[in-house]
Amino acid sequence: MATVVDESNPLLQDFEFPPFDVVEHKHVRPGIRALLKNLESDLEELERTVEPSWPKLVEPLEKITDQLAIVWGMINHLKAVKDSPELRSAIEEVQPEKVKFELRLGQSKPIYDAFKAIQESPQWTSLSDAQKRIVESQIKEAVLNGVALDDDKREQFNKIEQELKRLSQKFGENVLDATKKFEKLITDKKHIEGLPATSLGLAAQTAVSKGHADATAENGPWIITLDTPIFMSVMQHAKNRGLREEIYRAHVTRASSGDLNNTAIIDEILKLRLEKAKLLNYNNYAEVSMATKMATVEKAEELLEELRIASWDAAVQDMEDLKIFSKNQGAMEANDLTHWDTSFWAERLRESKYDINEEELRPFFSLPKVMDGLFNLAKMLFGIDIEPADGLAPVWNNDVKFYHVKDSLGNPIAYFYFDPYSRPSEKQGGAWMDEVVSRSRVLSRNGTAPRLPIAHMVCNQTPPVGTKPSLMTFREVETVFHEFGHALQHMLTKQDEGLVAGIRGIEWDAVELPSQFMENWCYRRETLMGIAKHYETGESLPEEVYLKLLAARTFRAGSLSLRQLRFASLDLELHTKYIPGASESIYEVDRRVSKRTQVIPPLPEDRFLCSFSHIFAGGYAAGYYSYKWAEVLSADAFSAFEDAGLDNDKAVKETGHKFRETILALGGGKEPLSVFVEFRGREPSPEALLRHNGLLSATASAL
């Protein structure tokens, strides 16, 4: 199998670490086209010579899929962290060609037949768990890719796939553009009273970048955008109710009007997904989605309803508490609290109840200290050392850090990039982890040791200002722990079969287990006290503040739970019962679902669906429930450490070792329920999740 190498195009060079620093939009069209041409001839060669054996089927197949994943992953990553109109249009132009190749590969009859032959052969019993999982999932994926369809139906299927890819891309771009488009210039300081210094700094920085050269945090002018850090800050801290309302309304109507309107795109996506499901002989798209997940539609709905019942009364009480509190504070709106009031008054109630001001805690959470604490925790739990390796690999921005992961004997096991700061003009919001390359025996660099995995971790924190490091909210600390959990599962895999190494091949609803699991450690005293040091004085977070953070963990847990349940239920409803083009619109479905999942119904003009990227531009279609599904798994997994005793270092290390050898090591090579049972000794239960959220008693009486 030939690897295409073209020294003049960085996408086509043979590299250990991707040349992120030199890839430009001009490389995308020729690079992807040359790669696809090469892969097509590799695929033809494979189909001509295929035999139902590992060396003649799986190894060449892995080489084909891997090359495409790495090169496409590079440009897709750059689009997410260094977006430009030129890069966008280059990717848009070659994406259909890439999808066409993937469909051709996914619908290859010779490959499908060879996998079926392995499954039916005498050698089946001698295959490892991981190898069996590869064969089973390849057969299942091929069927879901339309391999068994007649020619005319397959042609229709392929058209649908192409169109869905295009629509998802457009949906995401509209959200990004609509978010960028909104700007509110404020010159009068009293209009932004209440906003913390960090947000004022951010708003002034934005103003400078938009041509207000003399803007300062102190005197303005300030530009408010819908970018998450500033949006959240306005909702939680701005005393100006009119400003909160304006920003809230802009946020929930993003990408719902004019040339960025996503409404028609959503309808078309839902229509095509249903058509695709029918072609594959499923009743609806949710069934297609569940075919490759742990849950079934019924099981997911059952869990969501169980959690809804446990959360409802608590959420109603949360609202009552806000009304009483705001009334006592003399708020005019106390009897009429609505969407742009809840975050603001919840923040004031949190401050008075727990005397915690998220902003005042920032100096205790400086990014360098947080990362040190996180790496020390990983060393204790999993026996690994993480060392800075800046300069070893090219990066796409000077703020990006590069790290080397070693085992307890000093052997290298993985690498990762960390891109921590917000860059609204070119970088997507949110936080995510993705693979750069996965562990693989077949793709060994030297022919003996497996190729080592490399991961990305991307966040959107407030950048350092002057000599002041990036100071984080506690929520941002949790986010870094979360993304690192994903990275650990990718990096600490012991699978040598590339197709199921790391996060590859793991059922979608199990993939959040390690990430949500890691968040729990932020509340463990030793961990938190280890990172919470004032960046100037070095003093530790006061003990009473720690206790309040702990108590505040269950603050408004019912409301936060219902918010996720609205998203998850709406997602399932749209992909099971909703009929595109019938009398009920998508927004009416949202309102109907919200009656059961929201204490305050959404505004009539709420168009949140138009920016629900998770299900229309991400991988969560008929899968948003998996956040809750995985929360059950992760809380239960963490309760194994609680049972062992969180202050018993020896027991924590032993349990950590077990977690590493099961959940983190086995990757997609074993069915996730078996992996969980191997770690926990039993099947998962929602008890730990409800206990952590302070919702346990509610469920006992309600069920």
DSSP-derived letter for residue 224 is E
Within-domain flag for 578: no
* Res 229: pLDDT: 86
**What is the average pLDDT across 107-121?**
97
Token digits for 71?
């090169």
Given 510, 531, 553, the domain boundary residue is 553
Model confidence band, residue 2 (pLDDT cutoffs 50, 70, 90): low
Q: What is the mean pLDDT of the chain?
A: 94
* Res 699: pLDDT: 42
**Same domain membership, residue 132 and residue 230:** no
Whole-prediction pTM value? 0.85
Model confidence band, residue 618 (pLDDT cutoffs 50, 70, 90): confident
**Same domain membership, residue 392 and residue 515:** yes
Per the residue annotation, which of 347, 483, 507, 519 is the catalytic one?
Answer: 483
Within-domain flag for 673: no
Torsion sign across C-alpha atoms 498, 502, 504, 506: positive
* Res 62: pLDDT: 97
Are 27 and 10 spatial neighbours (Cβ–Cβ below 8 Å)?
Answer: yes
Within-domain flag for 123: yes
Within-domain flag for 517: yes
pLDDT tops 50 at residue 682: yes
Q: What percent of the chain has pLDDT over 90?
A: 90
Within-domain flag for 73: yes
Token digits for 445?
């660099």
* Res 5: pLDDT: 60
**Same domain membership, residue 189 and residue 73:** no
* Res 6: pLDDT: 65
Q: Is 387 a catalytic residue?
A: no
**Same domain membership, residue 187 and residue 80:** no
**What is the average pLDDT across 631-660?**
96
Given 223, 253, 283, the domain boundary residue is 253
* Res 696: pLDDT: 82
Within-domain flag for 245: yes
Q: What percent of the chain has pLDDT over 70?
A: 98
Given 201, 223, 253, the domain boundary residue is 253
Which one-letter amino acid corresponds to residue 184? K
**Same domain membership, residue 194 and residue 76:** no
* Res 697: pLDDT: 65
Q: What is the pLDDT of residues 249-277, one digit of tens each?
A: 999 999 999 999 999 999 999 999 999 99
**What is the average pLDDT across 477-483?**
96
pLDDT tops 50 at residue 703: no
Range of the domain at 488: 362-553
pLDDT tops 60 at residue 38: yes
**Same domain membership, residue 542 and residue 445:** yes
Number of domains in the chain: 3
Model confidence band, residue 418 (pLDDT cutoffs 50, 70, 90): very high
pLDDT tops 80 at residue 488: yes
**Same domain membership, residue 102 and residue 210:** no
**Same domain membership, residue 549 and residue 458:** yes
User: How far is residue 104's CA from residue 147's CA, in Å, rounded to a whole number?
Assistant: 9
Q: Which residues of 624-651 are buried (b: 16+ CB within 10 A; e: fewer)?
A: bbbbbbbbbbbbbbbbbbeebebeeeee
Model confidence band, residue 356 (pLDDT cutoffs 50, 70, 90): confident
pLDDT tops 60 at residue 698: no
User: How far is residue 586's CA from residue 267's CA, in Å, rounded to a whole number?
Assistant: 8
Q: What is the pLDDT of residues 227-244, one digit of tens each?
A: 888 999 999 999 999 999
Within-domain flag for 274: no
DSSP-derived letter for residue 687 is H
Instruction: Supply the DSSP string of 534-598, one letter for each residue.
Output: -TTT-PBPPHHHHHHHHHHTTTTHHHHHHHHHHHHHHHHHHHHT--TTSSS-HHHHHHHHHHHH-
* Res 702: pLDDT: 32
Listed residue (683, 661, 687) closest to 674, CA to CA: 683
User: How far is residue 267's CA from residue 201's CA, in Å, rounded to a whole number?
Assistant: 40
**Same domain membership, residue 518 and residue 399:** yes
pLDDT tops 60 at residue 34: yes
* Res 429: pLDDT: 84
* Res 358: pLDDT: 81
**Same domain membership, residue 495 and residue 399:** yes
Q: What is the pLDDT of residues 450-475, one digit of tens each?
A: 999 999 999 999 899 888 999 999 99
**Same domain membership, residue 200 and residue 134:** no
**What is the average pLDDT across 90-104?**
95
Within-domain flag for 604: no
User: How far is residue 345's CA from residue 18's CA, in Å, rounded to a whole number?
Assistant: 47
Q: What is the CATH number for 77?
A: 1.20.1050.40
User: How far is residue 84's CA from residue 21's CA, in Å, rounded to a whole number?
Assistant: 15
**Same domain membership, residue 543 and residue 458:** yes
Q: What is the CATH number for 371?
A: 1.10.1370.40
